[in-house]
Amino acid sequence: MNSEKQQSLLPIDWNSTDLPTMPSIAQRLISLLCKDEVETKELCELIAQDPALTAKLLQISNSALYSLSAEVTSIRQAVVLLGQQEVIQLAISSLLAKRLLTVSNSVRPHAERLWKHLLTTAILAQDFEFDMQEPDLYTLSMLHDVGWLVLMSQAPTLFVSLYEDKGKRLDELEKSWGVDHALWGAKLLEKWGLPEPFQVTAFRHHNPFQDASPPKYLLIVSLANFLSNSMGNSIFETIDNEPSDATLEGLGLDRDALSEMMTWAISEKEAIDLKCKLVI
């Protein structure tokens, strides 16, 4: 394939068994994150349905990431010590990591980079202090670039070729190779039955102002995506444009604030990378 010429969009078989599916427990956990109140019993019973997930959460809870004074021996105890939100987020992250990394060996390193980028973006996004209850910024960010998983599943060789085509902006790469990860991500999330904000985030996170008045959650994920790339937790070695003035203004920020955020994100890299390793 001549990567210098624009290609027609690669056809995707949306009925293929190769396409990734969303774990049902992950879908139910996402719905819990958006509820005002969650019964601890309900949460523990849901996680207990997956013994491997239970074991993984106990391993993470007892890791150096938290340095708790007492050994955690049950999910209920983890909820008490870490809080419901943290346990739900860890559970979702662990389930998605398992699903994202179920790819052919040729793209496994790329899937790991994708996973690291998604989790980094999620961690950064949830730290934005805005008056928002729904949708949940963490899970929106965890799924914003899931369209790349479609390409890894359907055309792994093409994905590797695209990755090796260096020195271009991401939009140039996609046009050259007939790829549209944003469109595919939105379609996959629709297929998974996730609410509209997930589809909007996947489709618009690189260009939120394609719509005149983008929702604030979209601006936050777009900015967190940039910060993740700027600290080195990116999927591709591409030229990344800074957020537009409109994006910053929509969040009440300026260029000085962006510079401070980039410095802060880099300072968080070691802790975030540790969490990425533990959750896999």
**In tens digits, what is the pLDDT along the chain, a chain of 280 residues?**
333 445 689 999 999 888 888 889 999 998 888 777 889 999 999 999 999 999 999 999 999 888 888 899 999 999 999 999 999 999 999 999 988 888 999 999 999 999 999 999 999 998 886 665 557 899 999 999 999 999 999 999 999 999 999 888 899 999 999 999 999 999 999 999 999 999 999 999 999 998 778 999 999 999 999 999 999 999 998 877 889 999 999 999 999 999 999 999 999 999 999 888 888 8
CB-based contact 231:265 (threshold 8 Å):
yes
The CATH architecture to which 105-280 belongs is: Orthogonal Bundle (1.10)
DSSP 171-205: HHHHHHHT--HHHHHHHHHHHTT--HHHHHHHHHT
Contacts of 98 (CB under 8 A, 6+ apart): 23
Predicted local distance difference test score (pLDDT) of residue 130: 63
Q: Categorise residue 145: left if φ over 0, alpha if ψ from -120 to 50, beta otherwise.
A: alpha
Contacts of 219 (CB under 8 A, 6+ apart): 208, 247, 250, 251
- The predicted model scores a pTM of 0.91
Distance CA 237, CA 165 (A): 9
Distance CA 63, CA 127 (A): 22
Q: List own/partner pairs for 182-187 with CB under 8 A and 24 or more apart.
A: 182/147, 182/206, 183/147, 184/12, 184/147, 184/150, 184/151, 185/143, 185/144, 185/145, 185/146, 185/147, 185/148, 185/150, 186/147, 187/12, 187/14, 187/150
| CA dihedral over 216, 111, 96, 277, signed as positive or negative | negative
Numbered ranges of CATH 1.10.3210.10 in the chain: 105-280
CB-based contact 43:32 (threshold 8 Å):
yes
Distance CA 178, CA 162 (A): 10
Task: Please give the structure tokens belonging to residue 97.
Answer: 């990591």
Whether the upstream peptide bond of residue 195 has omega within 30° of 0, thus cis, is no
Distance CA 116, CA 118 (A): 6
